[in-house]
Structure 1
Amino acid sequence: MTDRTAPLGMGFTWQQLRLGQRFRTFGRTVTEHDLMGFVALTGMQEPLFVDATHAGALGARPVPGALTHALIEGLVLTGMAHGTGLALLETHIRPLAPVRVGDTIHAEIEVTEIRPTSQGGRAVVRSAIRVLNQRDEPVMDYDATRLIRGDETA
């Protein structure tokens, strides 16, 4: 006997998505711990990121764009593709403005392409993602192309 009850928090299968469909993630405040953990993990030991007294061209306490992207991807995957995402195939990132320690970021997502694969049971799904801060100012745009599984009962 197989239990076909969907688990709570399951992402969308490709058949549940529609062109033009829009989503908004929850917000996430970027902390000092996020920044220091990320630069330690990646080796980005630039004064811009590790010296709290440094105020360069981007001002005080900016975070790497890669950290902004990683935090938003966590929010996107949790809400949209948790358990259904098979692979991130491609992404094009365009930073627009600095994100700083203490900023709260969220994303707006629009499904822009759904292309079922020849192998069946999956599709390539492209989305446009806009990252905004707590003042609803855009700080990053990116496109993501993912391989999403299908509904096994469809």
Structure 2
Amino acid sequence: MSPANPMNNPKNKAGNFFEDFRLGQVIRHATPRTVTAGDQALYTALYGGRFALQSSDVFAKACGLPAAPVDDLLAFHVVFGKTVPDVSLNAVANLGYAGGRFLAPVYPGDTLSAESEVVGLKENSNGKTGVVYVRSRGVNQRGEAVVEYTRWVMVKKRDAGAPAPEAVLPELPEAVAAGDLVVPDGLDFADFDCAAAGSPHRWGDYAAGERIDHGDAMTIEEAEHQLATRLYQNTARVHFNQHVESQGRFGRRIVYGGHVISLARALSFNGLGNAVKLVAINGGTHAAPSFGGDTIYAWSEVLDSIELPGRSDLGALRIRTVAAKNIDCGTLPYKAVSEEGRHGYHPAVVLDLDYTVLLPR
């Protein structure tokens, strides 16, 4: 008798393929993760973010919080990482985001868990892949929601001949409405210290249509992008296995798209230094892959200036940040996705992110 193929052992999870998903399916993800001050320190070491609210307990307390929360995107990535083994282990690419909200700050010592619901399915015309839409939600140890978002991902089929489900595309908002933005309990910018935060520019100093070239750039190191992805317990094979990826369409490991988001957010400090709190991810597109050795530049456009009812201490800005690889954004011949779709992007554009932040008034 020939020995059993160990790859057929049901204890070895191969991840879900497109035909394994069902509309309305709810997935509870492993593994709960307690976020620590060490995670925040490593996150800072990886990206160099300097936003004062997440950097200083003293600053955060002066703004009405009990301590400095961890970076909003660190919380997002930890929740995202929980979803990968069930949603995107067999992904070809993570395509975009919509309707993301940051609902409560995460502090060192909080434990995050995640759950997702399948809200859309559509097989691609090649019959080999399909797009899965999931609404994911992260909660803390008290069951309080801390972040929620919709993302869509292209996933391989196990069997190209498997019948396709009826195509269902979810309705996705263009942006999170002002009334749905959540200001954390106690947060108060009445005594916001601009000198400590590193920028003199308040909410009223920005106008819709204004563009900011953030000037700086960061080169992605192979070791750093893999370390970052492991920090989030993101197990997507395309980020780690060079032996396999050397035979793939790019011949290289792909950088986790969230790594580029965090790089762009850190770069945005130069020009948006007082935008210390993310409250929404309105939409986002990973327009092209990034690889180790790429240098990331970023610029931002102010899309809207939002007054929040009853708040004279702070306001919100809707920002669009574009990140590009190996080209100075100041001279980038960029074309808008809203007009020409994905094919309208210059090849150097790797990220187009639409999000909302809070600033002092």
TM-score relative to the length of structure 1 = 0.88
Aligned residues: 151
1:30 and 2:35 correspond: yes
Q: Mark the CA change 1:113 to 1:33 in structure 2 (over 3 Å): closer, same or farther.
A: same
For 1:105 and 1:123, locate their aligned partners in 2 and report how far apart those are by CA, in whole Å. 29
Structural mapping, 1:109-148, within 5 Å: 109-148=116-155
1:71 and 2:78 correspond: yes
Contiguous gaps of at least 5 residues in structure 2: 163-361
User: Which residue does the alignment assign to 2:16?
Assistant: 12
User: Which residue does the alignment assign to 2:158?
Assistant: 151
Bigger shift: residues 109-118 or 52-61: 52-61
User: Which residue does the alignment assign to 2:113?
Assistant: 106
Q: Deviations over 1:29-59 (max 9, x none)?
A: 1011111111221221233223344423443
Q: Deviations over 1:46-87 (max 9, x none)?
A: 3322334442344313012211111111111023332x1111
Larger-gyration structure (1/2)? 2
For 1:57 and 1:150, locate their aligned partners in 2 and report how far apart those are by CA, in whole Å. 49
Between Structure 1 and Structure 2, the one with more strand by share is 1
Q: 2:88–2:153: 8 Å Cα contact kept in structure 1?
A: no
Q: Which amino acid aligns with 1:86?
A: V
Secondary structure of 1:60's aligned partner: coil
For 1:19 and 1:36, locate their aligned partners in 2 and report how far apart those are by CA, in whole Å. 39
1:44 and 2:49 correspond: yes
Q: 2:32–2:112: 8 Å Cα contact kept in structure 1?
A: yes
RMSD over aligned CA atoms reads 1.9
CA shift for structure 1 position 6? 7.0
